[in-house]
Amino acid sequence: MLSESAAWLIVAYPALGAAVLLLGGRRTDRWGHYLGVATVLAAFIVGLSATLGQTGLAPDQRVQHTPLFTWLSVGELRVDVRLLLDPLSLTFVLLITGVGALIHIYSVAYLADDPRRRRFFGYLNLFVAAMLLLVLADDFVVLFIGWEGVGLASYLLIGFWQHKPAAAVAAKKAFVVNRVGDLGLLVAMMLMVGAFGSLDFDTVFAAAGSNGGTATAIGLLLLLAACGKSAQLPLQSWLLDAMEGPTPVSALIHAATMVTAGVYLITRSHEIYAAAPDARLAVALVGAATLLFGAIIGCAKYDIKQALAASTMSQIGYMMLAAGLGAAGYVLAITHLVVHGFFKAGLFLGAGSVMHAMHDEVDMRRYGALRAALPATFVTFGAGYLAIIGVPPFSGFFTKDPIIEVAFGTGGPLGLVLGTAALAGAGLTAFYMTRVLLLTFFGPRRWARQTHPHESPPTMLVPMVVLALGSAGAGLLLWLGGRMAGWLAPVLGEPVEAGTPHAAWGWTALVLSVVAAGVAVAWLQHARPTRQAGSWLVRAARRDLYGDAFNEAVVMRPGRALASWLAGPAERDLDRAVTGVGGTVARGAAVLRTAQTGYVRGYALWVFGGATLLIAAFLVGW
Amino acid sequence: MSPESYLYLSAVLFGLGAVGVLTRRNAIVVLMCVELMLNAANLAFVVFSRMHNGLDGQVFAFFIMVVAAAEVVVGLAIVMTAFRDRRSSSIDDANLLRH
């Protein structure tokens, strides 16, 4: 059993791996990917032993601060680098390192032919290390380092195939959109320093309770930050483009690391939101809007990875909605996040396996009838499918169903709106996932004659099987006896019963019938040959519901116009000032250059003149 | 004779040396003029030493002699080398560094 003082090893292992792989150069090409896998596995083992150590403790002792060193001390502000080990951060550590390790193993085979594989593993390790630092931080400054590190790593990974212009553009887009969100976190931190004089979690949370106005402002700014990382409205546009990166990256971003950061931030700051009901309402509304937005896009996409990405957006929307519902929702948000980590990673790795078999074809219109050619992929993908649409006893059922119930349980018109959105989202999820499954694995074969789909190597299949088992069983395991709620209680407070009347079976039946309706509609629609043209909604969804067009019209073009308007006079006057200074210096130099005759006597005369002047100055009495 | 007279002599010697440095082209003569200036300074130091009843000036004069000897060794070596190189000891010819 490792003591909590070894907690820094969790971050240090992957960070060390990234350093060795990125600084070591070509010397590490031959064994670099094994080191990448080993460091994440090592971090997982340390995290697991820390978790086992905590389960043996009494609940009130499960929050452990481990100081590392004092980073900076400026006036009143003092920033200590400390790690926070509590059930919430350890849950994330296990998810990040566990799912992350599986994705690493899968990548060994998936990128076997890529000449830059070693670099890829360096970036993956960096991603994992940054995310671990983010969740283990005990104050907002250290969290911010991890936050930015995740942004950097995602930029490097999305643009990993940099020879493709689309990948480079997507990486830049992800980075820029995330910066907008980061601005929220930065301003929130400034507010905290200004209002509370500290960035420490405990101090800030304690102070926020007594200051509703500031708490609301901070809460809204943190929501902006979370929107950037978790691809929520209005900062959702980078997520679909991020599919340009290699598929394991998509799995890592969507299941274990980046997009979970926003949900983590909101949940970690739940005491701020407790003091700011308005900000919490905003979280719930953003979540509800995004879950519908993502689900509608998912219904229309033909690119298998983009359909899954839209699904992630929608599922994260569920988590945000749950987090916005307050005490009853936080545990559900985290539990849904954990099981989503399993099934979404499994789905993405399955999609990667299909692409591997189909020579990187991503258009589902060229798939079809793959269940015979790829039986193992079909079964594992099927497990993820059943989990995400929420069929009992697969994991999604145990988290999505309660979220819908709690949303309805808010009561009043608000509860009706949020609940209906969540319920409609469940139906849409069933529809688009069934569509993906049917287009890919069923129906007539639509691939070219020279394509010979073949099952992936075991290095890829084993992680997929493990994730499929997780997708199938994790929900039941976590749900049994309120295990997850009890485990998270030291951080999130004792579980609160939802306000729903205890006709829970009625709600479940309603949700399941909506899901069944979604499946049925998809089945009926795809029993016939696919139609090319769709309604206006389908056409809009295929273009990401005009998210990019909106950004371009509202932000990019006015911004560019403003910049060029500002740049005109600035460039003219600045140019004049700069060339003026340069010209003066040049003219002065031309004058002084004539003094450089190269004659010793000339220089001696200067010396004499200077000395005479000095003596004269002394004599006059300056 | 009052000590001030020696100071005037020192000033005259210094001025002669300075004019020599500034006007003569032959490097040897320039070095000799520098020696003249140094000796003028030495004379002034000794006179001050006498006027103020201290030995500081005398000590300074000794130091200057030592430094001057060292300077002449280096300076003459340079002049010799330059002369061997270009058959001329005119300091106006030694302006290569300008180019």
Of A596, A600, A605, which is closest to B91 when you measure between CB atoms?
Answer: A600
Instruction: Say whether B91 and A599 touch across the interface (CB within 8 A).
Output: yes
Closest CA to A479 of A416, A387, A409, A389: A387
Find the radius of gyration of the CA atoms of chain B.
16
Q: Tell me: pLDDT of B74 over 50.
A: yes
Q: Tell me: pLDDT of A1 over 60.
A: no
d(Cα A184, Cα B42) in Å, to the nearest integer?
A: 76
Given its phi and psi angles, is residue B52 left (phi above 0), alpha (psi -120 to 50 degrees) or beta? alpha
Best of A593, A597, A601 to disrupt the B interface by mutation (most B CBs within 10 Å)?
Answer: A601
Q: What pLDDT sits at residue B10? A: 94
Query: If pLDDT is split at 50, 70 and 90, which confidence band does A501 have?
Result: very low
Number of H helices, E strands in chain B: 3, 0
d(Cα A353, Cα A567) in Å, to the nearest integer?
A: 50
Q: Tell me: pLDDT of A616 over 90.
A: yes
Q: Tell me: pLDDT of B70 over 90.
A: yes
Residues contacting A508, CB < 8 A, separation 6+:
A401
What is the per-residue pLDDT across A466-475, written as a single tens digit (0 to 9) for each?
A: 888 888 888 7
Q: What pLDDT sits at residue A131? A: 92
Handedness of CA A217, A218, A221, A226 (dihedral sign): negative
Average pLDDT over chain A, rounded to whole? 84
- Count of all residues that appear for chain B in the document: 99
Instruction: Say whether B99 and A598 touch across the interface (CB within 8 A).
Output: yes
ipTM of predicted complex: 0.80
Query: Which 13-32 residues of chain B touch chain A by CB within 8 A?
Result: 18, 21-23, 25, 30
Give the gap in angstroms from C-alpha A593 to the nearest C-alpha of chain B. Answer: 10
DSSP state of A255: I
Q: Tell me: pLDDT of A513 over 70.
A: yes
Instruction: Say whether B30 and A605 touch across the interface (CB within 8 A).
Output: no
Helix/strand/coil for B94:
coil
Q: Is A608 on the interface with B (CB under 8 A)?
A: yes
Could you tell me what percent of chain A has a pLDDT over 70?
Answer: 96
Report the pLDDT averaged over residues A281-288: 90
Instruction: Say whether A601 and B92 touch across the interface (CB within 8 A).
Output: yes
Instruction: Say whether B22 and A601 touch across the interface (CB within 8 A).
Output: yes
Q: Tell me: pLDDT of A452 over 60.
A: yes
Q: Which residues of A touch B82 (CB under 8 A)?
A: none
What is the per-residue pLDDT across A418-431, written as a single tens digit (0 to 9) for each?
A: 888 888 888 888 88
Find the radius of gyration of the CA atoms of chain A.
29
User: Which stretches of A451-603 are assigned E, i.e. beta strand?
Assistant: none
> For residues A110-143, b (16+ Cβ closer than 10 Å) or e, as one string?
bbeeeeebbbbbbbbbbbbbbbbbbbbbbbbbbb
Q: Are A174 and A158 in contact (CB under 8 A)?
A: yes
d(Cα A263, Cα A284) in Å, to the nearest integer?
A: 12
User: Which tokens is A591 given?
Assistant: 């004058």
Query: If pLDDT is split at 50, 70 and 90, which confidence band does B39 have?
Result: very high
d(Cα A271, Cα A268) in Å, to the nearest integer?
A: 8
Residues contacting A584, CB < 8 A, separation 6+:
none
User: Kind of pairing, strands A64-74 and A77-85?
Assistant: antiparallel
Alpha helix positions (H), A137-242: 140-158, 165-196, 201-208, 212-230, 237-241
Of B22, B94, B99, which is closest to A605 when you measure between CB atoms?
Answer: B22
Q: What pLDDT sits at residue B47? A: 93
Closest CA to A134 of A252, A306, A10, A293: A10
Kindly report which listed range (A211-220, A282-291, A490-499) carries the lowest average pLDDT score. Answer: A490-499
Locate the chain B residue with the closest alpha carbon to A611.
Answer: B18
Kindly report which listed range (A134-148, A239-253, A577-591, B65-79) carries the lowest average pLDDT score. Answer: A239-253
Alpha helix positions (H), A25-63: 32-55
Q: Are A470 and A342 in contact (CB under 8 A)?
A: yes
Instruction: Say whether B22 and A599 touch across the interface (CB within 8 A).
Output: no
Backbone phi, psi, residue B74, to 5°:
-65, -45
Give the gap in angstroms from C-alpha B38 to the nearest C-alpha of chain A. Answer: 14
A445 or A333, greater pLDDT:
A333
Q: Which helix (H) or strand (E) holds A413?
A: helix A412-441
Closest CA to A266 of A206, A321, A198: A321
Report the pLDDT averaged over residues A519-543: 71
Instruction: Say whether B91 and A608 touch across the interface (CB within 8 A).
Output: no
| Identity of the residue numbered A307 | A
A57 or A158, greater pLDDT:
A158
What is the per-residue pLDDT across A90-128, written as a single tens digit (0 to 9) for each?
A: 889 999 999 899 889 988 888 888 888 888 899 999 999
| Identity of the residue numbered B14 | F
Q: What pLDDT sits at residue A397? A: 83
Please name every residue paired with A79 in a beta bridge, in sequence order, or none if there are none: A72
Of B91, B96, B99, which is closest to A601 when you measure between CB atoms?
Answer: B91
What is the per-residue pLDDT across A10-52, written as a single tens digit (0 to 9) for each?
A: 888 999 999 988 888 788 888 888 888 999 999 999 888 888 8
Q: How far is CA A559 from CA A162, A508, A563, A566, in A?
A: 27, 48, 6, 10
Q: Is A619 on the interface with B (CB under 8 A)?
A: no
Give the gap in angstroms from C-alpha A590 to the nearest C-alpha of chain B. Answer: 15
| Peptide bond preceding A393 in cis form (omega within 30 of 0) | yes
Q: Is A605 on the interface with B (CB under 8 A)?
A: yes
Query: If pLDDT is split at 50, 70 and 90, which confidence band does B69 have?
Result: very high
Q: Identify the burial level of A101 via C-beta atoms within 10 angstroms of its C-beta, where 0-12 means exposed, 13-18 middle and 19 or more buried.
A: buried
Tracing tokens 């909605």 back to the chain, one arrives at A321
User: Which tokens is B6 given?
Assistant: 């020696």
Residue A560: CB atoms within 10 A of its CB come to: 11
The model's pTM is 0.76
Residues contacting B85, CB < 8 A, separation 6+:
none
Q: Tell me: pLDDT of A4 over 70.
A: no
Q: What pLDDT sits at residue B46? A: 93
A472 or B60, greater pLDDT:
B60
What is the per-residue pLDDT across A318-369, written as a single tens digit (0 to 9) for each?
A: 999 988 887 778 888 888 888 888 888 889 888 888 888 888 777 877 887 7
Q: Which residues of A touch B25 (CB under 8 A)?
A: 601
Locate the chain B residue with the closest alpha carbon to A594.
Answer: B98
Q: How far is CA A621 from CA A160, A609, A610, A617, B48, in A?
A: 73, 18, 16, 6, 21
Report the pLDDT averaged over residues A181-193: 90
